[in-house]
Structure 1
Amino acid sequence: MLCLSVAPAQVIRAPQALEQAGSAIARLGHRPLIVGGDRSLVAVQSRLKPVLEAQKLKFTQASYGRDCSEASLAALKQAVAVHKADLIIGVGGGKALDAAKLLAYQCGELPVVTIPTSAATCAAWTALSNVYSEDGAFLYDVSLPNCPNLLIVDYDLVQTAPRHTLVAGIGDAIAKWYEASVSSGHSEQTLIIAAVQQARVLRDILFQKSTAALQAPGSEVWREVVDATVLLAGVIGGLGGAQCRTVAAHAVHNGLTHLPIHSSIHGEKVSYGILVQLRLEEMVQGNQLAATARQQLLKFYTEIGLPQTLADLGLENITITQLKQAAEIALNPKSDIHRLPFKVVTEQLMAAMVSTTAPANSNPINPITTNLVNEEVAQ
């Protein structure tokens, strides 16, 4: 039996949406625990507190710490028990919202409200949580039985986030097309076809509107791009399920999180991972469409400021040993990189990771050697 969690039960989106959402929150519970990062909790306190007080809700808050980790979740469960919470409200970026969703599930499938403070991911929408180590290394994901009960997109709140968070969200969202088209592009299943085509639509919207949106925060086109990164990106995973979720771009992200020197945020690493995936398709398969797509993306990345190389991610001093470590983690037996229609070995992935900006069809590598990787890193 295939069960899909396509969408939140209710989505409220508007400027000042928080002030309009009190009754919708109150219908879900009377003793909410607000979960977020330290900065996010401070950022929303002055607006969310009066809304909850007006509904006579008994609320308290708890920080998830630095990552959605097993230790963090254990501490949050204690906070749920102490407060006797019957509702979880997640506030913040992707990791905060993942922590809130997974906490609600682990505490007896409590209702959950998600309030994103940026447009950096689609975590506010999805029935999925990623779990990390205390050091920020990706460990595993957890599929949840339901999307959030309520998603509140307050455009005024999202607009307070730094510009680079929306840029990262664009990178994370646009990956849907490059990954879903590879993993599911030949499917004959109706909903998967729909998901793949929605991924194509999402890509086209972001190509057409991202530059204008970033130049005019708060404008109508800016809101459309926020909707694309937070909402439409979530729809694709909801319709297509795991088959339309991730391939090499997210696998590369996961590998990079295990490096002690990584500092970029999720969507930045994923957008770089798209280039790595296309480079693999180009080098290993001789895929001309992948070569063309990579050059198109490089131009788009330049326009909006997405990273194109390891150096752009702050990894200019990465060693061969560290590069190999990231590649091997990305290639672990359970990795989604194996959804690619061809086998990838460590040396191939390493070579792709250091040649994301190479001219189209350059350096046809067969076999790919560690010596080549050494040379390209040195350059």
Structure 2
Amino acid sequence: TVKVVAIELDDKPFFTIPTIASTCAATSEVAAVYTADHTFDDVAFVNHPPVHCFIDADILVEAPSRYLWAGMGDTIAKHYETHLSARNREQDYNTQLGLTLASMCSEPILAHGIQAYKDSQANKRSDAFDTIAMTVIFTTGVVSGCVPMAYNSNMAHAVCYGCVTNKETEENHLHGEIV
């Protein structure tokens, strides 16, 4: 990905243009690394998020609805994983901010997710679709940047990374479908 290339080129600044609303990768410091045959290999971490993310909902709504479905799964997990990770720990300002924003990872999905998914299936932009796409890409990315890296992956992500060691699971399921 552009993130890994940016690291290898002396930590150059980079920008992103997401074409699917499937994860927060376009706005976060995390990069999923895949092999030449498109199977998951590793997670790489960059030193900073993109300097800008150009989000065009007209492009996102044309993607297969499966990606939005997976994005909602990954995003709703962010709320629960961050709060579970934070239990019984003292939090600094950034972490408190991230935990507060994490509630915005679940509430919009519970309120508008079904409608957004139906609109995605029809390739129809709507307020529901736009809200969920921004929640998946932007809100979750901001949360990821505010909380400690260890808070970003808890039980749901651990199970996911274990499941993708099975080639059939990895080839047939998106990240957010497993999470």
TM over 0.5: yes
When normalised by structure 1's length, the TM-score is: 0.43
Match of 2:168, SS state, is coil
Aligned residue for 1:208?
111
Letter in 2 for 1:227: M
**Match for 1:268: what amino acid?**
E
Verify the 8 A CA contact 1:179 1:249 in the aligned structure 2: yes
How far did residue 164 of structure 1 move?
1.1
**What do residues 105-129 of structure 1 show as CA deviations (whole Å, max 9, x unaligned)?**
1112233121111101110001122
Answer yes or no: is the 8 Å Cα contact 2:104–2:135 preserved in 1: no
Match of 1:253 in 2: 160
What letter is aligned with 2:50?
P
2:143 equivalent to 1:236: yes
| Aligned equivalent of 2:75, options 153, 167, 173 | 173
Question: 1:100 and 2:7 equivalent?
Answer: no
Q: 2:133 aligns with which of 219, 226, 235?
A: 226
Q: How much is the aligned-residue C-alpha RMSD, in angstroms?
A: 1.7
- SS at the partner of 1:130? strand
Paired residues in the alignment total 172
Question: Partners of 2:41 and 2:89 in 1: how far apart?
Answer: 29
- In the aligned structure 2, how far is the partner of 1:226 from the partner of 1:179? 20
Q: Which residue of 1 aligns with 2:177?
A: 268
**Partner deviation per Cα, 1:163-198 (whole Å, 9 max, x = no partner):** 111011000000011211111133322322221222
Task: Rate the CA distance shift 1:169–1:116 in 2: closer, same or farther, 3 A.
Answer: same
Q: Distance in 2 between matches of 1:259 and 1:181?
A: 29
Deviation of 1:137 (Å): 5.1
* Distance in 1 of aligned mates of 2:164 and 2:38: 6
Offset of residue 152 of structure 1:
0.5
For the residues of structure 2 that align with 1:185 and 1:196, how far apart are their CA atoms?
Answer: 11
The one of 3, 12, 16 equivalent to 1:110 is: 12
Partner of 1:62: none
C-alpha contact 1:196 1:244 (8 A) present in aligned 2: no
**SS of corresponding position for 2:33:** strand
Change (3 A) 1:186 1:229: same
3-state SS of the aligned residue for 1:123? coil
**Alpha-carbon shift at residue 201 of structure 1 (Å):** 2.7
**1: CA distance, partners of 2:57 / 2:105:** 20
What's 1:85 paired with? none
- Structural mapping, 1:117-136, within 5 Å: 117-134=19-36
Q: Does 1:153 align with 2:62?
A: no
| Ranges in structure 1 where 5+ consecutive residues have no aligned partner | 1-98, 271-379
**How far apart are 1:139 and its partner, in Å?**
4.1
Query: In 1, are the aligned partners of 2:99 and 2:143 still within 8 Å (CA)?
Result: yes
- If you compute each CA radius of gyration, which structure gives the higher value, 1 or 2? 1
In 2, the alpha carbon distance for the partners of 1:241 and 1:145 equals: 13
Confirm or deny: 8 A CA contact 1:137 1:258 kept in the other structure: no
Q: For residue 165 of structure 1, what is the amino acid of its counterpart?
A: Y
Structure 2 Cα separation of the partners of residues 192 and 110 of structure 1: 26
Q: Does residue 163 of structure 2 align to residue 163 of structure 1? A: no
The structure 2 residue matched to 1:197, chosen from 100, 119, 143, is: 100
- Alignment-mate amino acid for residue 138 of structure 2: L
Higher RCO, Cα 8 Å, sep 6+: 2
